[in-house]
Amino acid sequence: MTTKPGAAAQTRSERSDTRSLVLNGELLIYGVIDPYLWDEFDTSVRAIDVMASLAELSADETINVRINSPGGSVIEGLAIYNALKAWGKPIRVQVDAMAASIASIIAMAGDEIVMAENATMMIHDPWAVAVGNADDLRAMADEIDRQKAILINIYAAKSGLSAEEISAMMASETYMSAGEAVARGFATSVAEAMRTAACARLSNDQLARLLVAPIKLRAERPSPAAPAAQPQETIMVDPVPGGGTPAAAPPAAPPVTVPSAPPVDTAAVRAEAVRLERERTTGILAQARSARISADDPFVVALLNGDRQLIDARADIMEEWARRQETRDDNPPGDPRPSGIVVNADSVDRWVQGAQRGLMIRAGLVKSEDADRGNEFVGLTLAEMARSALTMRGVRNGHRDRMSMVGLAFTTMNAGPGYHSSSDFGNVIQNVAYRAMMRGYEEVDESFPLWTGTGTASDFRPIARVDLGLFPNLDKVEEGAEYTYGTIADTGTTVQIASYGKMFAITRQAIINDDLGFFDRVPRRMGRAAKRTIGNLVYAILNGNPTMQDGVALFHANHGNLAGAGAAISVASVGAVEAAMGVQKDEAGIGTSAGVVPKYMLVPITLKMAANTIMTAANTPGDGAQIANPVRGLATVVADSRLSGTAWYMAADPAQTDTIEVTYLDGVQEPFMDQREGWSVDGTEFKVRMDAGVKALHWRGLYKQPGA
């Protein structure tokens, strides 16, 4: 059985937890639609208050509802709408300024919907904030769609528009003026300007609610001893339309005396005044906070202590904010325009950041921190993350199987401002794969950077490297004589870089199988391989003994850098190498007192212990006389598995003497990763490449001992 609310109306005295929204015989829906009152001064509109107020108006034949609301809770708004529709009496709705969001649904409850000439109505899609796992988010999305369908039915029933038209208007968040709302069927008429009545007929309670003096003035006013006698009300005669002589007046009726009204409840007046003042104070502080003006700012304090109405105080705050923006220190020179706008990351940027961080945590590339506790992507599989990327872009994918859904995620991209060259999901995959590749690159403990030089090339063409050699002696310059130019030898060495790389693919099957190995093992190993490739090229020069620019092998007797007889590592053999390098001269036959000084000793892994013994022993190893070791600390031992046999080498400091140079494109010593949508595979392909070149610039700084 159904019961109309009007059939069993309660008075407000029976519900002490409700508030009256009735003023001057009208139901006022002024404020945010919210089921909760956060404090006693909150102006939110609750459904329970609307029902209690309808009970107050149970004697009225027509319920007059006035609306000025930005909207609020969908569920609470639907409860208000249903209460008005079920009341069983004609409902006349007047939109005084704004009926937005769910407030526009409440307006649809009116049998007559009148809008002020300057009023606005706005409709849009419902939205919500959700937290939880993937199933929770999908359930919330379904609930939002269900609520939208309910709202569409209400709008369509009132306006006569189709559901498709209503849905499009909601999706684009449509604002309508009074005339547009009438034209589209959302309102029945536009209100005309009202004439001011000569005298408002208000009850004492209503009069007390409206006519409240400011607190500081009321406090100075003494309470009246007794109410003053009420003046007699005179019936006013309307003038004759169009002017002219009035018709003969009927015989004068005896004056009617209006009985005196009961005295005003001063306690209620005082309580209402306190409420209004606190509401004004709260509104001023909220507006100041929005304008980033502190509550103890002298400007705000002056507003609080003054008697400016809230609407005027809000305007003052915005003017003050604009004035302060004009005078900010960080404004561009000569440009007085405000510069207080802060650009924050949009929803796409936040999604990419959260998804990338979550995937890196799952792949073990980073450790989870306290800030990651709210990252919902940590719990998503790769397929769920792909679906999330589509949902974030508004791409419907519920009808797709997982294989086609993942494929769509790899290709869907932003077509508006902030265009991405690849999909959001693909960007996340690439960024995480790149981090894994760099982790592998940095993990490799390569030895070649210790003793080789580093160069830079801007392209892939051969580049001449000039061997500065040793600069000639300075000439004595007599008084008044001219300085002469010195000559520098040029050996004509050229270096050229090349690209080295491999490809790998992340398939849709790997995404569906949630195979995180593709984000750890594969890219990480590719990063290691990139660095090892350069090391292989460096040690290939030592092992291969290439021909130099003079047509002679790198290590050759003609270059004075190859021992005539092999010798094991010992104090004597190391001393012999040091002596041989010390007598090296440049192309012009110029030497120095120290010659070329060895700094690094390059040995196979099998000779590492012997080399370290010679370089660190305080006394000459094997000498019973305990003679001091003359080569102690001469060079840093560098052992590498790519050197084999018995041969060992000495190398000079590359900053002092040209030895072997590793040249990088634009000086970038890290590998590159390129991505493209898979053509030969269902997924995405990645290419890891290094752009580098390795060349022995000169033989002078290198020496080879064949060993024994």
Higher pLDDT, 515 or 47: 47
101 is catalytic: yes
Q: Active site residue: 53, 101, 104, 423, which one? A: 101
- Of 273-287, 345-359, 586-600, 690-704, where does mean pLDDT reach its minimum? 586-600
Q: What is the mean pLDDT of residues 351-367?
A: 82
Strands 636-640 and 174-177: unpaired
| Count of beta carbons in the 10 Å neighbourhood of residue 134 | 18
What's the half-sphere exposure (Cβ side, CA atoms, 13 Å) at 703?
A: 30
What's the half-sphere exposure (Cβ side, CA atoms, 13 Å) at 507?
A: 6
DSSP 372-398: GTT-GGGG--HHHHHHHHHHHTT---T
- Does residue 10 register a pLDDT over 80? no
399 is catalytic: no
Higher pLDDT, 594 or 278: 278
pLDDT of residue 635: 96
- Does residue 395 register a pLDDT over 80? no
Domain regions of the chain by residue span: 5-190, 364-435
Sign of the alpha-carbon dihedral angle for 551, 556, 557, 559: positive
Q: Which helix (H) or strand (E) holds 286?
A: helix 266-290
CATH number assigned to the domain with residue range 5-190, chosen from the 4 options 3.90.226.10, 2.40.50.140, 3.30.70.3270, 3.30.1360.120: 3.90.226.10
Max avg pLDDT among 135-144, 425-434, 526-535, 622-631 = 526-535
Q: What percent of the chain has pLDDT over 70?
A: 75
State in Å, rounded, how far the first CA of the chain is from the last one: 109
Q: Where residue 217 falls among pLDDT bands split at 50, 70, 90?
A: very low
Interatomic CA distance for residues 547 and 416, integer angstroms: 58
Q: Which two tokens stand for residue 158?
A: 């009132």
Interatomic CA distance for residues 526 and 502, integer angstroms: 8
Interatomic CA distance for residues 700 and 485, integer angstroms: 25
pLDDT of residue 682: 65
Query: Who's near 661: CB < 8 A, 6+ residues apart?
Result: 452, 453, 454, 455, 465, 495, 654, 694, 695, 697
109: DSSP letter: T
pLDDT of residue 330: 58
Q: What is the mean pLDDT of residues 507-525?
A: 78
- Does residue 80 register a pLDDT over 60? yes
Q: Active site residue: 44, 53, 73, 124, which one? A: 124
- Does residue 340 register a pLDDT over 60? no
Q: Is 368 exposed, middle or buried (0-12, 13-18, 19+ CB in 10 A)?
A: middle
3-class secondary-structure state, position 253? coil
Q: Which two tokens stand for residue 290?
A: 């929005």
Q: How many residues does the chain have?
A: 708
Q: Which two tokens stand for residue 169?
A: 């208007």
Per-residue pLDDT reduced to its tens digit, 537-585: 999 999 999 999 889 999 999 999 999 999 999 999 999 999 999 988 7
Interatomic CA distance for residues 629 and 620, integer angstroms: 4
Per-residue pLDDT reduced to its tens digit, 180-215: 999 999 999 998 644 433 334 444 444 444 444 333
| Count of beta carbons in the 10 Å neighbourhood of residue 686 | 24
Q: What is the mean pLDDT of residues 297-302?
A: 90
pLDDT of residue 200: 43
